[in-house]
Amino acid sequence: MIVSLKHDADAGRVLNELAGRGLWVSRVERSASGSTVHYVIASHSQPADPADLARIDGVAEVTTPKPAHPLVAAQGPVVTVGGVKIGGASPVWMCGPCSVESEGHVLEMAQVLAKLGVTFLRGGAFKPRTSPYAFQGHGDAALGWMRRAADAAGMLVVTEALGEGHVPFVAEVADLVQVGSRNMQNFALLKAVGRAGKPVLLKRGMASTIEEWLLAGEYVLSHGASGVIFCERGIRGFDDSTRNLLDLGAVALLRHVHRLPVIVDPSHGAGRRDLVLPLGRAALSAGAAGLMIETHPDPGAALSDGPQAVPLAQLGPVLSDLGGAYAKEAVQ
């Protein structure tokens, strides 16, 4: 909201009144003469009532800016995918290998994962790799393996569409179509994914602002996606102690202020297995609707990202610990 002040207003008093209501005043502009003061404020978790603010002594006008992403703003905090509520009473787990390695491999994993309460089978068929000479994934074949493994185990499939050309096939196979970090502002892909009409898991770009992320969500919804779920996986930081810089403030903001469903990927966020549990727990406490976790029966033999994969045999206790963290949050 934009709160404009009367020429003779006591600006300090008005600011205090706003702060007293818990409003987050993000920008203040004053004129040299002191005759005009403009406050620009973002809404609190508990939306403020413009009529109430207009009654504050010294306030001339309260206006609500037009939302830049009306479809995202209207969506709400729960998106249902294949009967599973994301953002509901139970946390959602999306687990699987970084790369899908063979049909047998993913069939076996899915059986184990389903028993642990994992609802989404994740896995890379087409891998975005920084180098053209790195393993690029098993492609279309791997998509078929995932679908059959998920069906056999009663799971859903989430996987990434790497290019416009693959969207129709990916959308046919996947229950939830993922857009990766490097493609968050690949607008041709966002439009193609939207047109497929499926729900979308939209990973945040490495240096994307919250506003750009929400607008990318608006792209997929305005082109036909049936829902959008945001996924924080770490942004670019200046310290190489962790692979990326996990921004849980953004998660809290999307969940508690914008009231949108967010999944967190602590595997990429930390890049190291030993921090997946504490950061996963922290993510759920901040408001995440679920987690995307890379796992592998034998991380030492994984085709990619072994150091961040949780050994499959340890995943059960990890998820049961994390389930407790979510339950605590859900009470709020």
Question: Which of 11, 73, 116, 210 contacts a copy of itself by CB under 8 A?
Answer: 210
With a CB cutoff of 8 Å and minimum separation 6, the contacts of 84 are 92, 119, 120, 156
Instruction: Kindly identify the residues of this chain, within the stretch 9-28, that bind a copy of itself according to CB under 8 A.
Output: 15-27
Question: Which of 98, 196, 253, 262 contacts a copy of itself by CB under 8 A?
Answer: 253
Question: Which of 150, 284, 292, 293 contacts a copy of itself by CB under 8 A?
Answer: 284
Site string for a copy of itself, 122-151 (x = CB under 8 A): ------xxxxxx------------------
Smallest distance, a copy of itself to C-beta of residue 119, A = 22
Report the C-alpha gap between 314 and 56 in whole angstroms.
Answer: 57
The stretch among 84-92, 111-119, 147-155, 230-238 that binds a copy of itself (CB under 8 A) is: 230-238
Contact between 6 and a copy of itself per CB under 8 A? no
Contact between 8 and a copy of itself per CB under 8 A? no
Site string for a copy of itself, 149-188 (x = CB under 8 A): -------------xxxxx---------------xx-xxxx
Smallest distance, a copy of itself to C-beta of residue 49, A = 15
The SS3 call for residue 290 is strand
On the 0-12 / 13-18 / 19+ scale of CB atoms within 10 A, 221 is buried
Report the C-alpha gap between 99 and 101 in whole angstroms.
Answer: 6
Q: Which stretch of DSSP H or E encloses residue 314?
A: helix 312-330
Of 240, 192, 183, 241, the residue nearest 212 (C-alpha)? 183
Q: Fill in the DSSP letter of residue 223.
A: T
State the helix-helix crossing angle for 276-286 and 312-330, rounded to 10 degrees: 20
Report the C-alpha gap between 12 and 4 in whole angstroms.
Answer: 13
Smallest distance, a copy of itself to C-beta of residue 309, A = 8
Size of the site for a copy of itself (CB under 8 A): 119
* Residue 296 and residue 313 in contact, taking contact as beta carbons nearer than 8 Å: no
Report the C-alpha gap between 131 and 149 in whole angstroms.
Answer: 30
Instruction: Kindly identify the residues of this chain, within the stretch 46-65, that bind a copy of itself according to CB under 8 A.
Output: 46, 61, 63-65
Smallest distance, a copy of itself to C-beta of residue 104, A = 20
Nearer to a copy of itself, 69 or 149 (CB): 69
The pair of three-digit structure tokens given for residue 108, joined into one six-digit string: 């076996």
Nearer to a copy of itself, 120 or 126 (CB): 126
Report the C-alpha gap between 67 and 27 in whole angstroms.
Answer: 18
Contact between 102 and a copy of itself per CB under 8 A? no
